[in-house]
Structure 1
Amino acid sequence: MISEMKHNIFSCNRKMLKYKVTEYIKSKKINLLALGLYTILTYLMVYLPVSINLNQTYLGHGEVVYWSHYFWWFDYAITNFINPLNNSMVFYPIGMDLVDSIFPAFLFTPITHIFGSVISYNLYVLSTFVLAGYGMFLLSKYLFEDSYIAFVTGIIFAFFPFHFGASLGHVHTFSIMWIPFFVLFFFKTYKNPTKSNIILSSLFFSINALTSWTVAVMLALFCAIYMLSNWKFTFSKKFFPKIVIFAILSLCFMSPGLYLIMKNMLVNENMVLGLNSFIHYSADLLGFVTPSPLHPLFEDFSNEVYSQFTGNYSENIVFIGYSVILLSAFGIYSYIKKKLDKSILFCLIIFFVLSLGPVLHVFGTYYFTDHNLTVMLPGILTKYLPFFNMIRVPSRYDIMVMFFFSIFAGYGLKYIFEKIPRSKSNKLIICCIISLVILFEFMAVLPTQDVKDTPDFYYSFQQDDNTNPIIEIPIIRSPLDSAPVMIHYYEYQKVHQKPMMGGYFNRVNPVYAEFMNNDSVLKTVFQGKRNIDIAKDSLSFAPLAYLKLNHGVSHVILHKKYLDQEDLNFLLSYLGDDYIMDNSVATDPLIIYNTSSASGQSFSVNNYVMSLDNGWHGLEYREGSIPTRWMSNNASIIVNSNENNEANLKFRAHSFYKPRTLKIYVNNDFYGQQIIPSTGFVNVSTPININKGENIILLHVVEGSDRPCDIPELNNGDSRNLSIEIQNVTVDAHKVNE
């Protein structure tokens, strides 16, 4: 009897094990099938409408070249044993910390190394659709225990319109695919806090963070809402230590990127935009129910609507889909009726409200009634909260809005299945019909951008072992007018592989502009004719030699197509006529200066640069073209010299309203004074001594200044404090014999 019982138990255990193995294999086959279907759908939805050569054309436009260059840099840095987290090849000599999208560039390094950065970038774009769908499939399969429901929710999250919009060129906002993987293991941790679930949830949170800090902040908010909604369990003695371990592991996994982002937030005020930008890039309420302007059939209609919205297409395409709204309505009804955990519903509401930004937008308008009434929203708080203010575009919260709409659509589909006869064929038919409707609503055709041809010069330059930086002019000046130039520069650098003074990144551009403006010669090549001012340094006759000796520059390259004629003429005059031409690419003819030819130019005479300091009013022009500035009571000029010099300080001066006494000091030493008449300009020339290094010239007006608006007979509303206006400041110096 005992032997028979043991045999039966063993037989049952074996059958149970066999059943589990069979179900496991079946589950893996279903997962593999789903992954294959999402791959096919990505081919049909994303690639087929454009059918591009992935090696010659980018999916998206504009900034795609920047991100492709990002991929190239990681491969270049790792191959050459350089720190890949600081790109020293752009914004030379400052460089640029790579604070975002670290994981994608690192993950795709082998593909970049073998196939090149263009193919690598394009494959990455496509992979985000495949993995977003598959990740959502796995999460929904866990939540609903139904592969049909899971497949539909995966379609919604993979192909929702904002994903296409972000794919125009924002890696950190279209890289959404790791979100469902994290949420899956986060839910598993709450249900069964094993070591593997805690580690995997921490790992996937870190992957999200190292892929996109925008997504990381959103997920952190989701975690906070979920934890607080389940606070009794969260803060229980048994579970709370598990959450602490999760947090500590997450911080450890993402520490390299976290250090960089915090460092840049502390030292770079440009990491956060102003309130006007938060308002400008908010989602429009009408956008949630208006089909995407990228839709091939609704393009004309949608473009008329979207043209009224603030922001741009890569940010404001937030269409939910009518079928998704309907499914979600059923889902929310069922969710509330069954009294399920309210945290998911709270998340949907909170993220939806945050996506609307600081004030409500409807059809591009956020001022209502004749009194310009605005409807303030809670989203205004994110502008002033640390880390949340990094999400500089509120409409990006649509990522999480659609994530939770996908889940509620799953609940809606489950509700429908409960109301119909249980049959696999019925479920299959319904899922196919709903999937086709959703895919039709979400159809989009991404714009594409061809890789730009590279002039012959850069290929010949590649053979040069010289690792000195080059200057491309125009140097990137702003994110709005620089995209066409950036496309060329970043493609060319992949060929010549030399450091570049300048670059393109919204959060670094202002910092680098300050660096350029602190050097007289760099400021001149940076600003072109806009740099003409009253103070003239002595290097105008030898700027190439200065750039070589002081900054190590090997070549200065003028891009004729991107310089207006006045700027081009000014720079040709400034840099000289010792250059070569490269017309090998008709769309980008080059004028190339090699600084090695400037090595014989001497710095023994007039070796200084000048910049204006405090006390000056804005630049004006006398007689149409002569730069002039008014000073107030005191004004200072900074002179940097490589030598000790005896010099003559020269300028032209004219006093406002009445004669005034002008005293001149250099480094606090008095060097003379002169009466400046009010009847016209006079020439001033004063012997001074210039020390090696920085010198401060102070111009002091004894009688002080007056405001034109305070002198009745002038009938002038100018409220500035004016004393003397100055033109043509030079220092005629010669080296002191030592």
Structure 2
Amino acid sequence: MTFPRLRHHLAAAGVYLLAALLITWPLVTKLTTEFTGFGYSDAYEMAHHIWWFKYALQTGNDLFYQSMLGYPNGIEGITLWAHPLQFFPAWLLAFVMPLPAAYNLSILLSLVLNGLALYWLALYLTRGQFGPALLAGLVYLAFPTMQGHLGAGHAGLMVQWPVPLFLYALFRLSERFSKRRFVLTALLFVMSTFGHTLQVIYVLLPVSALFLFRLTLRREWKRLARVVPALTLGAVALGLFLIPVARATLTSAAISEAGGAVRYSADLLAAVTPSFFHPLFGQLEYTHRVLGINIDEGYAYAGLVAGVLALLALWKMRAARWWAALGIVAYGLSLGPLLKLLDQPLRLHIAGYETFLPLPGALIDALPLLNLARTPGRFNFTLALAVAVLTAFALAYLWPRLGRARWPVAGILAGLMLFEYQAFWPLPTTPAFRPAAIEALAERDDIRAVFDVPWKNLVAAKQAIYLQTVHEQALVAGQVTRITPVDPAKLTLLQETLDPALLNEAGADLVIVHREYDDNGHLMARAREQLGDPIYRDDRLAVFEPPDPANPAQFTALPMQDEAVTDQTDAYVYAPATGWALFEATLEAQQRTATLQLDGIQIGTWTIDGEQNLRVPLPLEAGYHTISLQVDPPCPAAHDAALRCRAVALSDAAFGSLVEDDFRPVPFAGGVTLMGARPADVTDNRLAVWLWWRFDEPRNENEIRFVHLLNAAGELVAQVDTTLGEREAGEQLAEIVELALPHDLPPGLYRAYAGWYTYPDGARFPVLADVPGSESAYVLAGEITIPAR
């Protein structure tokens, strides 16, 4: 096999550079002023992380800890460790050129390298035929899946070039073992994930599995024995490399609970659907219906030119069959857990019931670790690989038969393919705006942090972290990926109140309103009311400097707003000190279970049948808290129109004022802990005692919780003994126990005690701490003075 010379390789690189410039036109004219991608894309987020690498190296900050996000604590950025090629060489280029140029040039470089890497693999597979390899690289570079992610600003996913090189090394190793080939195969296996870790699922897993299956089916045991150890070494090395990232990934709700497997899967017709942004094919109505709003993840058009060539390869070339199988498997997985047609899950009606058609992707969505792949459409990166190789095989068959016409034909095919693959014309770009007033903020040393609103708008959040590259100040929020890990209770209360005292407590010395995402201008109106006139304003932004607060931050609550709860509704509170706050609400439903959670921990559950008033004492540490009311089971996301889900009606939700208290947990034997307690008040001759329990072991109906009221002489004057029913380990309970007081109860000092015993033997749970009442196996909940009546 004779490979082309260096001049051929350089010519291929030149062709791919021209193709990259054509696909991304007019990016080359905006290299320093705009970023590749739509306004909603990840371009601003990627730009921020590129800037952070440069800034951290210049200032001595930890590269993998975002100390200037999530003020004052910072945000763990170890996930950046997992994607070195997502930001390199962009961060290196950022030292010598503007940030947009560094970002855009790195993407153009990735496109060119993608083409060259596939070209190199195709040279090997076609035994050195330059023309077929050149066009195969062009198919891979320009494949619609690549272009869709180009518009989404997914810089890391554009780094596909290690994959063809990994396959080249794998083929060479299977032919003949050498230490060099062995190490290179394992190294390229690991490097194939350096653009994005989940490439291991979307590309490496199907490619490697089918390669091994092919060798096994052919009983090529020697080849198998050569490649399996290299793949094993690569997998182990990748696992070790990702150890620092694993904990952060698996515990991050932004990643592990993101969902979207159906939304981000490909449509059944995606392979035959060009872009609705195409200058010609965009006129076809069905392109809009198939791709919907999912051109970023769902664009997988195989194309007429490449499609016909792939069929020719499948017909004429035996070696093409495995690549066709790889493409079919990848495309099948890209369809996700449910079959979609015209961008909607296909609905089936069976025996009067409506259901959906599940696909093999549902298995991936249900398996641990594999379910992190929430975007099945990305399996089409493997489809791009298969289609490009099939194109190479077809052209290798045609090449000697075309004679002198081969290069004119190749030029026509390349032009037609590039034309029909074109996703955008022009390429969407996002402005790299740098207002002088925002730049000037970098010179100020009296700013602790900047708070950007609306914080929950994903596009505004990306714009906010981009602005940090301009003003170089810490942010109250901010994220490394997808959504901020900062407490939503804190951010929501700050945004909805814009209270100068709360902002001061949070260190927010500036507030930036992103006006494009301020619905109905209500944030601007509130900011003017609370903070005065902005110190800077343009069409995009308004910057406010909060006045010094007259008083420290007070207890603040934002009650639940929903009137009909079908799943979950949240309230948020800020407590300046540790203590209790009474939550009250009225619920109405028909045989529905409702639970109340405090910061994700269940503290109460009720079966609502009719109207029921809730009164729950909330034990609050100083800081921000989320109180959630959940309906169990929640109403389904999709149900028959003839059916109605029974919601829980919510009204009169409110919080009392904060009652400061110290919580001193007291453990009992049997895994019960009294976390906090206080006698609250006497109303209508009834004493309310607030209790907060934690259950480390399961509870049953034969275990009795009691509250006894004793006089100064130690005599029992009132009591409530009752079971709390079955409780699971890990549950908590905040409750109000009301003791009916005797009408002739004399004035004086009384003590309330709480404890547990088993029924029917009456054996009390020992108290495992030296506290008042422990010698009698109960705990002093508090004292109360009954005045003369």
Post-superposition shift, 1:407? 0.9
Alignment CA distance shift 1:107-1:255 (3 Å):
farther
Alignment CA distance shift 1:469-1:301 (3 Å):
farther
Q: Is 2:180 the counterpart of 1:203? A: no
Q: Is the 8 A contact 1:289 1:321 kept in 2?
A: yes
Question: CA separation in 1, counterparts of 2:614 and 2:347?
Answer: 48
Give the counterpart letter for 2:43 in structure 1: V
Match of 1:585 in 2: 538
Q: Is the 8 A contact 1:283 1:357 kept in 2?
A: yes
- Unaligned regions of 5+ residues in structure 1, if any? 1-19, 530-539, 621-628, 643-654, 657-662, 678-683, 688-695, 705-738
Post-superposition shift, 1:475? 4.8
> CA-to-partner distance for each residue in 1:53-88, whole Å, 9 max, x for gaps?
211112212221111112111111222233323333
Match of 1:430 in 2: 409
Question: CA separation in 2, counterparts of 1:95 and 1:669?
Answer: 35
- Which of 425, 428, 442 is the equivalent residue of 1:462? 442
- Which of 464, 477, 482 is the equivalent residue of 1:489? 464
Alignment CA distance shift 1:382-1:254 (3 Å):
closer
- Which of 39, 53, 58 is the equivalent residue of 1:79? 58
Question: CA separation in 2, counterparts of 1:226 and 1:614?
Answer: 63
- Which of 128, 138, 146 is the equivalent residue of 1:163? 146
- Which of 360, 364, 385 is the equivalent residue of 1:378? 360
Question: CA separation in 2, counterparts of 1:664 and 1:108?
Answer: 53
Question: CA separation in 1, counterparts of 2:270 and 2:506?
Answer: 51
Q: Is the 8 A contact 2:688 2:738 kept in 1?
A: no
Question: CA separation in 1, counterparts of 2:733 and 2:528?
Answer: 31
Match of 2:736 in 1: 700
Post-superposition shift, 1:42? 1.6
Q: Per residue, is there more helix in 1 or in 2? A: 1
Match of 2:720 in 1: none
Question: CA separation in 2, counterparts of 1:271 and 1:449?
Answer: 25
Q: Is 2:78 the counterpart of 1:95? A: no
- Which of 670, 673, 679 is the equivalent residue of 1:671? 679
- Which of 35, 49, 63 is the equivalent residue of 1:58? 35
Tell me the SS of whatever aligns to 2:616. strand
Question: CA separation in 2, counterparts of 1:66 and 1:370?
Answer: 43
- Unaligned regions of 5+ residues in structure 2, if any? 557-574, 589-603, 605-610, 624-650, 653-658, 664-675, 691-731, 741-789
Question: CA separation in 2, counterparts of 1:406 and 1:296?
Answer: 24
Question: CA separation in 1, counterparts of 2:362 and 2:346?
Answer: 16
Post-superposition shift, 1:347? 1.8
Normalised TM-score (structure 1): 0.72
Give the counterpart letter for 1:227 in structure 2: L
Alignment CA distance shift 1:292-1:557 (3 Å):
closer
Give the counterpart letter for 1:364 in structure 2: D
> CA-to-partner distance for each residue in 1:207-265, whole Å, 9 max, x for gaps?
22121123222213311221232138999578637633453356436744x12442223
Tell me the SS of whatever aligns to 1:581. coil
Match of 1:532 in 2: none
Q: Is the 8 A contact 1:90 1:501 kept in 2?
A: yes
Tell me the SS of whatever aligns to 1:589. strand
- Which of 187, 198, 201 is the equivalent residue of 1:214? 198
Aligned-residue sequence identity (percent) comes to 18
Question: CA separation in 2, counterparts of 1:383 and 1:641?
Answer: 39
Question: CA separation in 2, counterparts of 1:29 and 1:161?
Answer: 29
Q: Is the 8 A contact 1:357 1:377 kept in 2?
A: yes
Give the counterpart letter for 2:306 in structure 1: V
Q: Is the 8 A contact 1:665 1:671 kept in 2?
A: no
Alignment CA distance shift 1:601-1:614 (3 Å):
closer
Post-superposition shift, 1:354? 0.2
Q: Is 2:260 the counterpart of 1:285? A: no
Structure 1 vs Structure 2 CA RMSD: 4.0
Q: Is the 8 A contact 1:199 1:246 kept in 2?
A: no
Q: Is 2:151 the counterpart of 1:151? A: no
Give the counterpart letter for 1:581 in structure 2: P
Tell me the SS of whatever aligns to 1:285. coil
Post-superposition shift, 1:503? 1.8
Alignment of 1:335-734 (within 5 A): 335=317, 338=318, 340=319, 343-368=322-347, 370-371=349-350, 372=354, 374-417=356-399, 420=401, 423=403, 425-443=404-422, 444-445=424-425, 446-454=427-435, 456=437, 458-465=438-445, 469-477=448-456, 481-483=457-459, 485-504=460-479, 507-509=482-484, 511-512=485-486, 515-517=487-489, 523-528=492-497, 542-548=501-507, 553-559=508-514, 562-563=517-518, 564-570=520-526, 576-577=530-531, 581-583=534-536, 585-593=538-546, 597=548, 608-609=576-577, 617=585, 635-640=616-621, 667=663, 668-675=676-683, 700=736, 702=738
- Which of 206, 210, 216 is the equivalent residue of 1:231? 216
Alignment of 1:180-329 (within 5 A): 180-217=164-201, 218-231=203-216, 236=221, 240=225, 243-249=228-234, 251-252=236-237, 255-256=240-241, 258-273=242-257, 277-301=260-284, 304-309=286-291, 311-329=293-311
Tell me the SS of whatever aligns to 1:213. coil
> CA-to-partner distance for each residue in 1:9-61, whole Å, 9 max, x for gaps?
xxxxxxxxxxx9xx77x52221111111111222223234x553211112212
Give the counterpart letter for 1:674 in structure 2: V
Alignment CA distance shift 1:590-1:617 (3 Å):
same
> CA-to-partner distance for each residue in 1:662-703, whole Å, 9 max, x for gaps?
x999854443433379xxxxxx9999xxxxxxxx99661539
Q: Per residue, is there more strand in 1 or in 2? A: 2
Alignment CA distance shift 1:299-1:144 (3 Å):
same
> CA-to-partner distance for each residue in 1:599-620, whole Å, 9 max, x for gaps?
x856899993579889765899
Post-superposition shift, 1:434? 1.7
Further displaced range: 96-105 or 178-187: 96-105
Q: Is the 8 A contact 1:69 1:117 kept in 2?
A: no
Question: CA separation in 2, counterparts of 1:618 and 1:153?
Answer: 67
Match of 1:43 in 2: 21
Post-superposition shift, 1:177? 2.7
Q: Is the 8 A contact 2:586 2:613 kept in 1?
A: no
Q: Is the 8 A contact 2:455 2:477 kept in 1?
A: yes
Give the counterpart letter for 1:57 in structure 2: E
Question: CA separation in 2, counterparts of 1:183 and 1:474?
Answer: 47
Q: Is the 8 A contact 1:71 1:108 kept in 2?
A: yes
Question: CA separation in 2, counterparts of 1:589 and 1:583?
Answer: 6
Give the counterpart letter for 1:316 in structure 2: G
Question: CA separation in 1, counterparts of 2:50 and 2:380?
Answer: 27
Give the counterpart letter for 2:683 in structure 1: I
Match of 2:9 in 1: 31
